[in-house]
Chains A and B, each alone.
Chain A
Amino acid sequence: MTTRKLKKLKLKKLIWLFIALCLPLQSARAVLTIEITEGVEGALPMAIVPFAWEGANLPPREDVTAVIAGDLSRSGRFAPLPEEDLVARPHEAAQVNFQNWRIMGVDNLLIGKIRASSPGNYVVQFELFDVFKAKRLVGFNIPANDANLRYVAHQVSNIVYEALTGERGAFNTRIAYVTVNKKLMGPNKYFLYVADADGYNPREILASPRELISPSWSPDGQKLAYVSFEKNYSEIYIHDIRKGIRRRIARYPGHNGAPSWSPDGTQLAIVLSKRRKNDRSNFNIYIYTLKTKQLKRLTKHWAIDTYPIWTPDGKFIVFTSDRSGRPQIYKIPLSGGRAERLTFEGKENDRPVLSPDGKYLAMVQSGGGRSQIAVLDLVYGSLRVVTDGSLDESPSFAPNGSMIIYATNLDNKGVLSAVSVDGRVQTFIRETNGDVREPAWSPFIKQQP
Chain B
Amino acid sequence: MNIFNQQVAIFKKIAILIVPVVVLWGCESTPDEKVDTSADAVKVDSGATPSGMDQDAGATARPMTEAKKHPLDDPSSMLADRTIYFDFDKNDIKDEFRDVIKAHADFLSSNPSAKVSIEGHADERGTREYNIGLGDRRANAVRQLLVLQGASSGQVDTISYCEERPAALGHDESSWSQNRRAEIVYTSR
Given the interface pairs A6-B21, A209-B1, A232-B1, the reply to whether A369 lies near B125 with Cβ below 8 Å is: yes
How far is B127's CA from A364's CA once the two chains are assembled, in angstroms?
Answer: 8
Contact A351 B136 (CB under 8 A): no
- Separation of A76 and B101 alpha carbons in the complex (Å): 56
Measured CB to CB, the nearest residue on chain B to A5 is: B39
Q: Is A358 an interface residue (CB 8 A)?
A: no
Encoded as 1 (CB less than 8 Å from any A CB) or 0, chain B from 1 to 45 comes to 111001100110010011001001100000010011001001000
- Which parts of B121-171 form the interface with A (CB within 8 Å)? 124-130, 132-134, 136-137, 140, 144, 147, 153, 158-162, 164, 171
Nearest-neighbour CB distance to chain B for A215, whole angstroms, equals 12
Interface residues of A in 396-413 (CB under 8 A from B): 412
Q: Which residue of A lies closest to B6 (CB)?
A: A187
Residues of chain A within 8 A (CB-CB) of B127 are 307, 320, 350-351, 364, 393-394
Q: Does chain A have a CB within 8 A of B74?
A: no
Give Cα distance in the complex from A394 to B48, angstroms: 32
A-side interface residues, number (CB < 8 Å): 50
How many angstroms between the C-alpha atoms of A117 and B153 in the bound complex? 74
B36 close to A304 (CB less than 8 A): no
Is B99 close to A, CB under 8 A? no
Contact digits for A331-370, partner B, Cβ 8 Å, 1 yes 0 no: 0000000000000000010110000000000001010010
Given known A-B contacts A3-B24, A211-B164, A255 and B136 have beta carbons under 8 A apart: yes
A350-B126, A391-B125 given; A187·B2 CB < 8 A? yes
Bound form: Cα–Cα A348–B134 in Å: 14
A304 to B128, CA, bound (A): 13
A232 (CB) vs chain B CBs: closest residue: B1
Chain A residues contacting B1 (CB-CB under 8 Å) are: 209, 232
* Chain A residues positioned under 8 Å from B6 (CB to CB): 187, 209
| A211 neighbours in B (Cβ, 8 Å) | 161-162, 164
For residue A213, CB closer than 8 A to chain B, the reply is yes
Q: Does B89 contact A (CB under 8 A)?
A: yes
- Whether A10 lies near B147 (C-beta < 8 A) is no
What are the residues of chain A within 8 A of B14 when measuring CB–CB? 10, 13-14, 17
Interface size of B by Cβ–Cβ distance < 8 Å?
Answer: 42
Instruction: Write the nearest CB–CB distance from A141 to chain B, whole angstroms.
Output: 47
What A residues does B25 contact at CB under 8 A? 3
Residues B153 and A304 in contact, CB atoms below 8 Å apart: no
Q: Mask for B33-70, Cβ within 8 A of A = 1, else 0? A: 00110010010000000000000000000000000000
Contact of B126 among A10, A214, A281, A366 (CB under 8 A): A366
One digit per residue, 1 when the CB lies within 8 angstroms of any chain B CB and 0 when it does not, for chain A 202-238 equals: 0000000101011000000000000101001110000
Bound Cα distance A394, B131 (Å): 13
| Distance of A412 Cα from B169 Cα, bound (Å) | 11
Task: Report A-chain residues with C-beta under 8 Å of the C-beta of B130.
Answer: 304, 306-307, 320, 322, 327, 350-351
Query: Contact between B126 and A371 (Cβ–Cβ < 8 Å)?
Result: yes
A326 contact set on B, CB distance < 8 A: 89
Interchain CA distance A320-B153 in the complex, whole Å: 30
For A210, the closest partner residue in chain B by CB is: B164
The answer to whether A214 and B129 touch (CB under 8 A), given A10-B14, A10-B21, A391-B124, is yes
Interface string of A377-407 (1 = CB under 8 A from B): 0000000000000010110000000000000
Distance A369 CA – B175 CA, assembled complex (angstroms)? 13
Is B124 a contact of A304 with CB atoms below 8 Å?
A: no
Does A21 count as interface, using CB distance less than 8 angstroms?
A: yes
**Which residues of the partner chain B approach A304 to less than 8 Å between Cβ atoms?**
130, 133-134, 137
Residue of B nearest to A325 (CB): B89
CB distance A1 to B136 under 8 Å?
A: no
A371 touches B136 (CB 8 A): no
Q: With A14-B14, A187-B3, A304-B137 known to touch, is A3 a contact of B129 (CB < 8 Å)?
A: no
CA A190 to CA B75, docked complex, whole Å: 35
What separation, in Å, do the CA atoms of A6 and B17 have in the docked complex?
9
- Tell whether A21 pairs with B147 under 8 Å between CB atoms, given A3-B25, A350-B127: no
CA distance A6 to B127 in the complex (A): 40
Question: Is B144 a contact of A280 with CB atoms below 8 Å?
Answer: yes
Q: How far is the CA of A351 from the CA of B6 in the complex (A)?
A: 34
The residues of A that contact B134 with a CB separation of less than 8 Å are 304
Which residues of chain B have C-beta atoms less than 8 A from A214's C-beta?
A: 128-129
Which residues from chain B contact A327 at a C-beta distance below 8 Å?
126, 130
A-chain residues with CB within 8 Å of residue B171 when the two chains form the complex: 391, 412
Bound-complex Cα distance A353 to B32 (A):
62
Give the 5 A-B CB pairs with smallest separation, nearest first. A304-B133, A187-B3, A351-B127, A1-B39, A306-B129
A-B contact pairs, 15 of them (CB 8 A): A10-B18, A13-B17, A186-B3, A213-B162, A232-B159, A280-B140, A306-B129, A306-B132, A320-B130, A322-B130, A350-B126, A350-B127, A351-B127, A351-B130, A369-B125
Other 18 A-B pairs with CB < 8 A, given A2-B32, A306-B133, A369-B125: A187-B6, A213-B162, A233-B159, A255-B132, A279-B144, A279-B153, A280-B140, A306-B130, A307-B130, A320-B129, A320-B130, A322-B130, A322-B133, A350-B126, A364-B127, A391-B124, A391-B171, A393-B128
